[in-house]
Structure 1
Amino acid sequence: MVFSSYVFICIFLPATLFGYWVFTHVSHQASKWWLCLASLVFYGWWDIRWLPVILVSILFNFMIGRAIIARTQQEKTSGALLAFGVAVNLAALAYYKYMFWLLGLVGLGATMPVAIGLPLGISFFTFTQIAFLVDASEEFHGRYSPTNYVLFVTFFPHLIAGPIVHHRDLMPQFEESRNFRLHAREIAIGLAIFAIGLAKKTVIADNVATVSARMLDHPGGTGAVWLGVLAYSMQLYFDFSGYSDMAVGLGRMFGIKFPVNFNSPYKATSIIDFWQRWHITLTRFLTAYVYNPIALALVRRRARAGLSTSKRASQSLRGFLVLIALPTWITIVLAGIWHGAGLQYVAYGVLHALYLTINHAWRTFGPKSVDDPGPVARAARAIGYGLLVYIGVLVAQVFFHAGSLHEGAVTVAQMVRLHGVDGPYAPIAVTDLLLVAAAAAIAWLAPNTWQLMAPHDPALATEDRIAPSRVHVQFTLGWAVLLGVILFLGLFNIQGEQPFIYFQF
């Protein structure tokens, strides 16, 4: 089931909250097992055949994790165990997500009678567990019990599409008994965040999705292609950020805080800033477990060769290419491949790797401004940089949306009028323009969820990166009515079980 469905909102969520309330009066342990059971029901609802896959994954990683922690506590090396655990997780991910595509590339896809299929949320629960194994080999916080581990992986708000959580985010919270009591304040905060996320999904994302599909399936020239791409850009943002909001809100209803996953990414004024705002938990994972180890290995290699490893070394062309560009390309291209099987996802990663390399090169070799240009010039520069970043992101999103590399290339060519449009034209209605413009205005001009909820400590570690806002949600009648209207609109606009874009990754 999906968060934005009547089955989830009207049946599953109330039943889970009620059962949770009942079991909190039995014991702390019983309430955790109730959440584990409810989460597995939630996971199996969409396709029960994948339930054994996640259960085997949990069992394997729990056993490996226990062995790693035991060796670490005895001050013994656990490198071999860690490498084995990570390799098995990546092999499982590669088998389900990429095997059929890889066989097709070498002409063997026809030898398989059917596609392997993709277990729900396998990318997310695999990354979550890989992060756990790596962290456990270094330092572990919390009580490592079967209950805690199963709940850490399966807790239904983050299970399908993130945020990608670390054990240090959740396991210490599982040990706090006050978190395993229903609190009216926590439910109110969680419901407010959930309502905002639901409206993002059903009112904005699902409606601009119809514009995107109509414009890109049967484009009416360059204008229609651009409108379709802009609409998809808004759909992607409000769909995934809406899911992430709902996930955080659901966690708060049960007294658990998640990390923020989106922070107004279209307001970014550099591509580095964009990746610090877009899918924040993925960026955190890639930085900690891919980029940093590669960069550290390259630094050590330079040191063994007798070359400088200081910050100044990266300011030479050779040092920049080796110490910054190379780990960036490996990390971001892998991030593109993680998003899906197909050369279009490779192109998505390559484009972002190119953007990031240019951004780092500009910071390293570009002019260093020391004079304050004044408020008007600063504002103009921020707008210019912001538009440049957004256009680059837009082009990369074309390949994220495309069914193939060729399809993405054709769409980009149509955007710059290098390729004609075949077939009947799709008419552009005024309502289409108004809908996309309204979504863009909200994305660029409105305060985001975390700015609105800032006084209520809505998520983990938000205070150091969320810009202040003059508008805040308060516990007043007026805000209750407004949030009630937002929740009603979100519920009223539900159109069946519309899956999220990141629902099966």
Structure 2
Amino acid sequence: MLFNSFAFLFLFLPLVLAGYQLFRRRGVAWLGICSLIFYAWWDWRFLPLLLLSICANYGAGRAICGLAGQPRDAALWAALALNLCALGWFKYAAFLFGVSTGLALPIGISFFTFTQVAFLVDCWRGKAREPRFAPYLLFVSYFPHLVAGPVLHHAEMMPQFRNGRPLQAEDLAFGLTVFALGLAKKVLVADNLAPMVTPLFAGGVAPQMMDAWIGTLAYSMQLYFDFSGYSDMAIGLSRLFGVRLPENFDSPYKARNISDFWRRWHMTLSRFLRDYLYIPLGGNRGGTWKRWRNLMVTMVLGGAWHGAGWPFIAWGGLHGLFLVLQQRFGGGKEAWWAWPLTFIAVLLAWVPFRAPDIASALQIWSGIAGLNGLGLPHALGGPGLQCIAAGGGAMPLLAAACLSAWFAPNTREMLQRHWTGSLPHAGAVAALLLACVFSMNRPTEFLYFQF
């Protein structure tokens, strides 16, 4: 079920809200059941896998909390091994061993696995403990975050899951506003940029310079507004129930170096990689070379987390290299060229992230460098790709998206400055929702669902 589908907007969400208000004395259990239904809507075959993962990790967490010394360590490593083996089998078996599971990738498996890995490590560190099953089930399966994040911490979420809390008018107004803004980013911006993107990354294409730049820039903005839109919708939906999800997106294309970019892009994943991978590897300790090694390992594994394939590993490796170069030559955060250089580096790295294989990425990079010719794209009268011609009408939208991503305040900043909850404000939100609904001919999946 998609947030941008009629079934979700006009059936699932109203029923969940009504049931939560009606059964608020059992609100945690109600939201847990609804979250499982939400997940099963995609493919019921994967629901047992999710439930098995939840039950096994709940039991492992209780065992870790009740043990001490070497048995405690052994319980942690065994639980981590089971989680990583399950993730590896479904996500990486074909890539690593040429073995097919015969099933599609279970949606959200990376997110619910990483969420529970963080929980287990926090139990081992003495920072988490969950004696009741129903809240833990909700913590993992909570439908606003389940399929595309954010990656949650037990300590920041559990105090917010409580029975007896009725729906609040302020939460409903604020949540619907954030949800509407996110829906508009997805439906009105990201989806309409897709025609400029898809054929360029179809494989076997040798784009000319203008084609390559326009198509890659369009993908950068498509991904930006798609993921930003999902993040807003997740925060807005959760706020309807009085639950505040952590921020996951903070104007990353305004970053002035690569470290700054990763503090702004997929913020909860960056936090996970720092706290549960980079620091355990040694972090900044042990000298310059070890620090650079830890950065490279962390980013390569972060790339592999996004997908099983050399293009994702190349993307992660590029960001690791960028971080090493930043540390070697200084951040340059205050220099005038810091922002454009950072954005160009991020844009170039998106090529393997989207390309089907390394050969296709090399062709697009060649086009960006002008090695395939300098001609105008088809949309501007040249012999360029049909994909740019198909998206020619979206050129003004692409320009507006760039200006918004580079210079406009983000959703959080806008609401901090202008939130009133007044009746005219409600009318604007209703108009925005209607515009989105009338544009939803065929709902498209969010780009991050594949991870």
TM-score, normalised by the number of residues in structure 2: 0.92
Cα 1:249–1:142, aligned 2, differ >3 Å: closer, same or farther? farther
Contact 1:71 1:78 in 2 (8 A): yes
- 1:65 and 2:33 aligned: no
Work out the CA distance in 2 between the residues paired with 1:425 and 1:131. Answer: 45
Contact 1:142 1:172 in 2 (8 A): no
Residue in 2 that maps onto 1:32: 28
Work out the CA distance in 2 between the residues paired with 1:154 and 1:46. Answer: 14
Measured on the aligned residues, the alpha-carbon RMSD in Å equals 2.2
Q: CA deviation at 1:424?
A: 6.9
Q: Alignment partner for residue 257 of structure 1, among 221, 240, 244? A: 244
Residue in 2 that maps onto 1:446: 408
Aligned residue-pair number: 440
Question: Aligned with 2:78: secondary structure?
Answer: helix
Q: Alignment partner for residue 366 of structure 2, among 413, 431, 451? A: 413
Residue in 1 that maps onto 2:385: 425
What amino acid is the match of 1:181? P
Question: Aligned with 1:157: secondary structure?
Answer: coil
What amino acid is the match of 2:215? G
Cα offsets for 1:338-395 (capped at 9, x unmatched): 100110011001100000111112238x8xx9xxxxxxxx6xx34x211101111111
Cα offsets for 1:375-424 (capped at 9, x unmatched): xxx6xx34x21110111111110101011111111111111122469x97
Larger radius of gyration: 1
Work out the CA distance in 1 between the residues paired with 2:17 and 2:70. Answer: 43
Work out the CA distance in 1 between the residues paired with 2:115 and 2:51. Answer: 14
Q: Alignment partner for residue 161 of structure 2, among 174, 177, 184? A: 174
Identity %: 42
Q: Alignment partner for residue 85 of structure 1, among 79, 84, 104? A: 79
Question: Aligned with 2:418: secondary structure?
Answer: coil
Ranges in structure 1 where 5+ consecutive residues have no aligned partner: 303-318, 370-377, 455-470
- 1:328 and 2:295 aligned: yes
Cα 1:220–1:412, aligned 2, differ >3 Å: closer, same or farther? closer
Q: CA deviation at 1:293?
A: 0.5
Contact 2:119 2:128 in 1 (8 A): no
- 1:354 and 2:316 aligned: no
Work out the CA distance in 2 between the residues paired with 1:142 and 1:181. Answer: 26
Work out the CA distance in 1 between the residues paired with 2:102 and 2:222. Answer: 28
What amino acid is the match of 1:439? A
Contact 1:69 1:140 in 2 (8 A): no
Question: Aligned with 1:498: secondary structure?
Answer: coil
Work out the CA distance in 2 between the residues paired with 1:142 and 1:91. Answer: 24
Question: Aligned with 1:262: secondary structure?
Answer: coil
Residue in 2 that maps onto 1:311: none
Contact 2:207 2:384 in 1 (8 A): yes
What amino acid is the match of 1:8? F
Q: CA deviation at 1:102?
A: 1.7
Contact 1:2 1:8 in 2 (8 A): yes
Contact 1:195 1:486 in 2 (8 A): yes
What amino acid is the match of 1:71? L
Work out the CA distance in 2 between the residues paired with 1:395 and 1:195. Answer: 31
Work out the CA distance in 2 between the residues paired with 1:96 and 1:359. Answer: 35
Contact 1:197 1:246 in 2 (8 A): yes
Question: Aligned with 1:51: secondary structure?
Answer: helix
Cα offsets for 1:108-129 (capped at 9, x unmatched): x5xx5x7442111000000000
Correspondence list, 1:48-127, <5 A? 48-71=44-67, 78-104=72-98, 109=99, 115-127=102-114
Cα 1:82–1:14, aligned 2, differ >3 Å: closer, same or farther? same
Contact 2:178 2:235 in 1 (8 A): yes
Aligned structure 1 segments of 4 or more residues deviating by more than 6 angstroms: none
TM-score, normalised by the number of residues in structure 1: 0.83
Cα offsets for 1:195-239 (capped at 9, x unmatched): 011001000110011221245556762111211100100011111
Work out the CA distance in 1 between the residues paired with 2:272 and 2:160. Answer: 20
Work out the CA distance in 1 between the residues paired with 2:88 and 2:37. Answer: 26
